Amino acid sequence: MKNPSSITSSRRVQHWGWISGWAIPPTALAQVAQDCWPRHRHTVVAPSRHALAQLQSLDLDVVVGYSLGALLLLSHRFDSNPPICLAFAPILAFDRESGLGGKTPARTRLAVQTKFDANPIAASKLYLRLLGMTDLAGAEPAYEISDLSWGLEALGSLRAAPTTTKHSQLFIGSEDRVCSIAEISATYPHLTVIPDTSHDFRVLLPRVAARGINPA
């Protein structure tokens, strides 16, 4: 990944590396990202234990996380030269009991995990219903079953690192079902709230793009 000092202008073609959300097909996110920021090149990986390593092996200008992908990105403690980070629908900790902005009780997440052990597709549909994105649930897993299983565990265990979150740009919809704007903004006042927008990346990303973000 490149040092932020190497970013001289958002007018040139940049390479953005994305980490998708849980049960969100990376190809679906990639298409929306490309439509929203057509000038730039976008690489999207599934939210797995290897996601950050995959991105770190690339020559990236900007690193982006969405939903669980944002949690993976924000929980990472970078060295003294962190990359430019964008976080959409940022989960700082998923469970409501964490007090970091999650709205979902731990018992609900555990219910999804129990269902996943018996039927990964049904569990994906249940989770996507929580997010208001049921139509994205397909007949096949969004990506590798092992990575889906790991992602559920990550939702319950990971916490955003304050140092990473503070130097990142965070964007959230005002109608997000799983993230509390009040709790997140109390700690991170630089949170950008997009009015009349949900957790759904198909709505959130176009509205952020329309505002003309300038990663720097």
Is residue 215 assigned to a domain?
Answer: no
In terms of Cα–Cα distance, which of 94, 82, 110, 65 is closest to 177? 94
Enumerate residue ranges in the chain where pLDDT < 70: 1-11, 80, 215-216
The token duo for 117 is 């052990």
* Residue-level pLDDT at 6: 37
* Residue-level pLDDT at 7: 37
The token duo for 8 is 């001289």
d(C-alpha 3, C-alpha 85), whole Å: 11
Is residue 77 assigned to a domain?
Answer: yes
Is residue 7 assigned to a domain?
Answer: no
- Side-chain half-sphere of 48: how many Cα atoms within 13 Å? 17
* Model confidence, pTM: 0.93
* Residue-level pLDDT at 8: 35
Helices (H) and strands (E) in the chain, counts: 9, 6
Is residue 114 assigned to a domain?
Answer: yes
H or E segment and range at residue 210: helix 201-210
* Residue-level pLDDT at 150: 97
- Domain range for 100 is 15-210
Is residue 22 assigned to a domain?
Answer: yes
Is residue 1 assigned to a domain?
Answer: no
Q: What is the CATH number of the domain that holds 187?
A: 3.40.50.1820
The token duo for 132 is 């208001």
In three-state secondary structure terms, 66 is strand
* Residue-level pLDDT at 138: 87
Is residue 41 assigned to a domain?
Answer: yes
Is residue 189 assigned to a domain?
Answer: yes
Total of domains in the chain: 1
